[in-house]
Structure 1
Amino acid sequence: MNIDFPYHFDRRGRTASTDDSDHVRDMIEQLLFTHPGERVNRPDFGSGLLQLVFSPNSPELAAALQFTLQAALQRWLGDVIDVGALEVTSQDSTLQVYLAYVIRATGEARTDTFARSLP
């Protein structure tokens, strides 16, 4: 059983659970949108992605961000997924990450889009 993210209760009043492929997606989302230093016992966990939302768009920033995210995914989830494609776009205050990956345990190929809007 995997606990669903974000934490909530199911219709029976119990902790909501999810299947393995959705749990992997949840782990990726947590990694992408966690600031380094936010977790007490793992201060280097996270990607720093949200810190760059308001930075001016440029090819150099896009390349640096892609490299940083690729490294974070490899470090923290390299034993769980194989990253195929990664693309980050920023428009106004919305950040969007397109990720194509394969779940190592099942061989299932997935593509997911992760988006976060800031106030």
Structure 2
Amino acid sequence: MSIFGKSMAFPPRVGSDGRFVWSFGETNIRESIAVILRTEPGERVGVPEFGAGLARFLFEPNNAATHARVQDAVGRALARWEPRLAVEALEMAADPADAETALLTITYRLVATATRERITLNIPLASA
């Protein structure tokens, strides 16, 4: 058993053996981050406050003020819903190749091993 636990893989899928695919270790944590950031509050019946609520920023301008609000929402959501990691840095900037996208880089430390990880996500926004 992994020190990070396991859960159904995200997105859910069936393996070649006809069973659901499970996710373990660091992959499970990256998938958990994706679930938290892609979920809107109110989507989960049993936990209506779950999620980061990033869809509310979809038509906001791609500028420093919006970036700060997105970073705050992501930081709060990950701190609340993913105890296996500690966010060390959130950096966000407009994507130079696409005026309607910002790049969010999350640097985090795995609590159980102190391993540092980094992921970069595309966040859709309106052009500034």
Instruction: Name the TM-score, length of structure 1 as normaliser.
Output: 0.83
Indicate how the Cα distance of structure 1 residues 40 and 92 shifts in structure 2: closer, same or farther if over 3 A, else same: farther
1:13 to 9, 15, 18: 18
1:57 to 38, 54, 62: 62
Indicate how the Cα distance of structure 1 residues 32 and 43 shifts in structure 2: closer, same or farther if over 3 A, else same: same
The 5-angstrom pairing of residues 65-84 of structure 1 reads: 65-77=70-82, 79-84=83-88
1:31-79 deviation per Cα after TM superposition (whole angstroms, max 9, x unaligned): 11111111111111111112202211222221122112111111111x2
Identity %: 32
1:87 aligns to what?
91
Indicate how the Cα distance of structure 1 residues 42 and 96 shifts in structure 2: closer, same or farther if over 3 A, else same: farther
2:109 aligns to what?
102
In structure 1, C-alpha distance between the alignment counterparts of 2:124 and 2:16, rounded to whole Å: 28
SS at match of 1:83: strand
| Count of aligned residue pairs for this structure pair | 117
In structure 2, C-alpha distance between the alignment counterparts of 1:89 and 1:53, rounded to whole Å: 15
Q: Which runs of 5+ in 2 are unaligned?
A: 1-5
Q: Quick check: 1:41 aligned with 2:46?
A: yes
Kept after mapping to 1: 8 A contact 2:71/2:91: yes
Indicate how the Cα distance of structure 1 residues 41 and 25 shifts in structure 2: closer, same or farther if over 3 A, else same: same
1:26 to 12, 25, 31: 31
Kept after mapping to 2: 8 A contact 1:99/1:113: yes
SS at match of 1:114: strand
Q: Which runs of 5+ in 1 are unaligned?
A: none
Q: Quick check: 1:114 aligned with 2:118?
A: no
Max Rg structure: 2
What letter is aligned with 2:111?
Answer: R
